[in-house]
Chain A
Amino acid sequence: MQTFFQQLINGLSLGSIYALLALGYTMVYGIIKLINFAHGDIYMIGAFWGYYVINQYHVDFGVALVSSMVICAALGMLIEYLAYKPLRNSPRITALITAIGVSYFLENGMSFLFGANTRNFPQVVASHRFTVFGVAVTNIQLLIVTVSLLLMVALQLIVQHTRMGTAMRAVAVDQEAAELVGINPNHVISFTFGLGSALAGAAGVLIGLYYNSIDPLMGMVPGIKAFVAAVVGGIGSIPGAALGGFLIGILETFVQAIGLSAYKDAAVYVVLIVILVVLPAGIFGKNVKEKV
């Protein structure tokens, strides 16, 4: 039972990272039906930005987190403007392949500019471990879960209660009708990329703090797992992405805990296959019939 709770704590910490990333996937998909495969690399850039400002300017955790969110939001919007906007009226597969291209560009660009080696992320928050009912919890884990939950609440408030958030939902359900009330879809799409990328930037700094190490390819596998999380939750659904993220994080740590570390990635992909076969719309997804 102790082990169970221990793994649950570990799973929630990892899961909140996946959840933050999955939100970006699901929002972008909801609005332009694009799986943004470069999303995991934005998270990598977020981690590198955190590494840079903490080492260079000795800023504290809060400044690193917020500045990384701002930088990643700007980068996400820039990528959308340069790479995806010109393809707005192209077939979906074109944009998808472009996303993979952007992903390679960011990964190899960072390797080229700063080297492919793994770096130690500066431990800007001193780690303390304390034990509650025999379960070990670190302050870093609490910080990750708390920050993630706060960001999710903030996102929910933006999407549900602001003019721009409502416009996002309007464009997602009916772009033409949204244009007829005067919404410029380009602004809304750009805003969506900014919002999703800001969350990825936060996730990058949090994972740096948690795992201590960062490298230019660190976004690949978490990016794909977060994509799986978004599909599990129902792609396009914001609460679904959050739930899917936590589920995938917990699943991964439990698979490790029962001694199958080597299969932890495989387990996530098995979940993807099972979901696609059994419940293709995901947990919170709506069954939408494609028009042909």
Chain B
Amino acid sequence: MLNVVGLKVNYGAIQAVQGVDFTVNDGEIVTLIGANGAGKSTILKTISGLLRPSAGTITYNDQNLAKLSPSKIVAAGIAQVPEGRHVFEGLTVTENLRMGAYLSPKTRDEQLAAVYDQFPVLKERRSQDAATLSGGEQQMLAMGRAMMAKPKLLLLDEPSMGLAPIYINKIFDIIKNIHAQGVTVLLIEQNAAQALQVADRGYVLASGQVKMTGTGKALLANDDVRAAYLGG
């Protein structure tokens, strides 16, 4: 479904991603794990078209994403939940969700009902300014907003970051739920243990390169991964 080959991305003068290869197959949950600064967020931003690769290709169902604008990439079926949630403050919860369906106004209302079914707490708060939501609620709003576009591939950038433990489990349940609806998921997480538990496959990144790859279970059991990312 998504095939990344030899991807290099510069962030100003820094080469944040130094030749990365990975694939996401239809129906999988794939996770990229690694420390801060390993280049994970840069990869997601490049897939979404916010950054341009300096070398390499990103192919999504035979389309070369490197040439498409962010809005074309959304239209092609890829939605991203950005790091730090980035809900639209000053807009109500409903307005935030409607913006998620910006490119598909015809199916907007039925999709809104579906998202409210999945996130009843958002329905309760539908007329509230998104800025007044708690961190966990904002994360759900950001995920609901991405689901409004009916994506085939969902990119999640650090969805559990900065959340209370009770919400972290909830967010991972939501990821499994979204996956069960037939959405392919590419997940970036610092919380490597939980990410590898839900993921079919994982890639370990360090300083802009893939260091290791395997199934979620295999990486969880790997001594090097345990030592470096799972606290022994």
Which A residues form the contact surface with B (CB < 8 A)?
Answer: 163, 166-167, 169-170, 173-174, 176-184
Asked if B103 CB lies within 8 Å of chain A CBs, one says yes
Instruction: Determine if B91 and A181 form an interchain contact, defined as CB atoms under 8 angstroms apart.
Output: no
15 contacts between A and B (CB under 8 A): A166-B95, A169-B90, A169-B91, A173-B89, A174-B86, A176-B86, A177-B88, A179-B48, A179-B49, A180-B50, A180-B70, A180-B79, A182-B74, A182-B75, A183-B71
Q: Is the interface of A mostly helix, strand, loop or mixed?
A: helix
Going nearest first, the 9 A-B pairs with the smallest beta carbon separation are A182-B74, A177-B86, A182-B103, A179-B70, A182-B71, A170-B88, A184-B71, A182-B102, A180-B80
Instruction: Determine if A180 and B98 form an interchain contact, defined as CB atoms under 8 angstroms apart.
Output: no
The one of A173, A177, A179 in contact with B71, judged by C-beta atoms closer than 8 angstroms, is A179
- Chain A residues, Cβ within 8 Å of B70: 179-180, 182
Asked if B100 CB lies within 8 Å of chain A CBs, one says yes
Asked if B99 CB lies within 8 Å of chain A CBs, one says yes
Return the chain A residue nearest B100 by Cβ.
A181
Return the chain B residue nearest A286 by Cβ.
B90
Nearest chain B CB to A11's CB is how many angstroms away? Answer: 31
Instruction: Determine if A176 and B50 form an interchain contact, defined as CB atoms under 8 angstroms apart.
Output: yes
- Chain A residues, Cβ within 8 Å of B148: 181
Instruction: Determine if B102 and A167 form an interchain contact, defined as CB atoms under 8 angstroms apart.
Output: yes
Nearest chain A CB to B214's CB is how many angstroms away? Answer: 30
Given contacts A180-B50, A181-B145, A182-B102, contact A173 B88 (CB under 8 A): yes
Q: Give the bracket for the number of chain B residues in contact with chain A.
A: 20 to 34
- Chain A residues, Cβ within 8 Å of B98: 163, 166
- Chain B residues, Cβ within 8 Å of A173: 88-91
The one of B79, B82, B86, B99 in contact with A183, judged by C-beta atoms closer than 8 angstroms, is B99
- Interface 1/0 per residue, B42-85 and A, CB below 8 Å: 00000011100000000000000000011100110001101000
Given contacts A163-B105, A179-B50, A181-B145, contact A170 B99 (CB under 8 A): yes
Instruction: Determine if A176 and B82 form an interchain contact, defined as CB atoms under 8 angstroms apart.
Output: yes
- Chain A residues, Cβ within 8 Å of B103: 181-182
Q: Which of B49, B88, B100 counts the most A-chain CB atoms under 10 A from its CB?
A: B88
- Chain A residues, Cβ within 8 Å of B153: none
- Docked Cα-Cα span, A184 to B50, in Å, equals 12
Instruction: Determine if A183 and B91 form an interchain contact, defined as CB atoms under 8 angstroms apart.
Output: no
Nearest chain B CB to A25's CB is how many angstroms away? Answer: 19
Nearest chain A CB to B226's CB is how many angstroms away? Answer: 34
- Chain A residues, Cβ within 8 Å of B102: 163, 167, 181-183
Return the chain B residue nearest A163 by Cβ.
B105
- Chain A residues, Cβ within 8 Å of B149: 181-182
- Chain B residues, Cβ within 8 Å of A174: 86, 88-89
- Docked Cα-Cα span, A174 to B105, in Å, equals 21
Instruction: Determine if A184 and B69 form an interchain contact, defined as CB atoms under 8 angstroms apart.
Output: yes
- Docked Cα-Cα span, A177 to B71, in Å, equals 11
Nearest chain B CB to A256's CB is how many angstroms away? Answer: 38
Instruction: Determine if A166 and B99 form an interchain contact, defined as CB atoms under 8 angstroms apart.
Output: yes
- Docked Cα-Cα span, A179 to B75, in Å, equals 12
Nearest chain A CB to B92's CB is how many angstroms away? Answer: 10
The one of A163, A167, A176, A181 in contact with B74, judged by C-beta atoms closer than 8 angstroms, is A181
Nearest chain B CB to A194's CB is how many angstroms away? Answer: 19
Q: A167-B99, A181-B79 given; name 5 further pairs at CB < 8 Å.
A: A163-B98, A180-B79, A182-B74, A184-B69, A184-B71
- Chain B residues, Cβ within 8 Å of A176: 50, 82, 86
Nearest chain B CB to A244's CB is how many angstroms away? Answer: 19
- Docked Cα-Cα span, A9 to B105, in Å, equals 45
Instruction: Determine if B82 and A180 form an interchain contact, defined as CB atoms under 8 angstroms apart.
Output: yes
- Chain B residues, Cβ within 8 Å of A184: 69, 71
Nearest chain A CB to B133's CB is how many angstroms away? Answer: 14
- Chain A residues, Cβ within 8 Å of B79: 180-181
- Docked Cα-Cα span, A170 to B98, in Å, equals 11
- Chain A residues, Cβ within 8 Å of B75: 182
- Chain B residues, Cβ within 8 Å of A182: 70-71, 74-75, 102-103, 149
- Chain B residues, Cβ within 8 Å of A167: 99, 102
Given contacts A163-B105, A170-B91, A174-B88, contact A181 B69 (CB under 8 A): no
Return the chain B residue nearest A176 by Cβ.
B50
Instruction: Determine if A180 and B89 form an interchain contact, defined as CB atoms under 8 angstroms apart.
Output: no
